[in-house]
Structure 1
């Protein structure tokens, strides 16, 4: 598998390459943007189901980091997002 860095600059690409790629190294975490703030994100693969620890949800619940380097999860693993209720004060 090849990993593509877009517009991050040669220095960051070189530094990141020392750790492999996000699918091989737990040192590199990729954040995925949720369309709305989350209460939780749960990984689903066959009968296996695991909710991500809260430390993997950040930026006010808008970004989540699934464990891409954890080879015990299938490439077909789904991520189920549970959205936080709307906040009328925003």
Structure 2
């Protein structure tokens, strides 16, 4: 079973070349193995077109990212891909 958890401390999510794409708002966890499968990111409006995702009328769109493209988690979440490569992972 997969459980979606919200984060208490939001972190910026950046690509490997330093572009801010959004804010970490949650994670999907496999409750059998207790491993994080994906991260839930609320996307900034400035990168919606770059990522070719649908705009939401009332709130910021959310995407899920597999943890295999996460490079570092600290004060920010840094991905191991740039914005162009990220489109292939959404």
Query: Please, what TM-score do these two structures have when normalized by structure 1?
Result: 0.30
Q: Decide which structure has the larger Cα Rg and report it.
A: 1
Query: Please, what TM-score do these two structures have when normalized by structure 2?
Result: 0.30
Structure with bigger helix share is 2
Structure with bigger strand share is 2
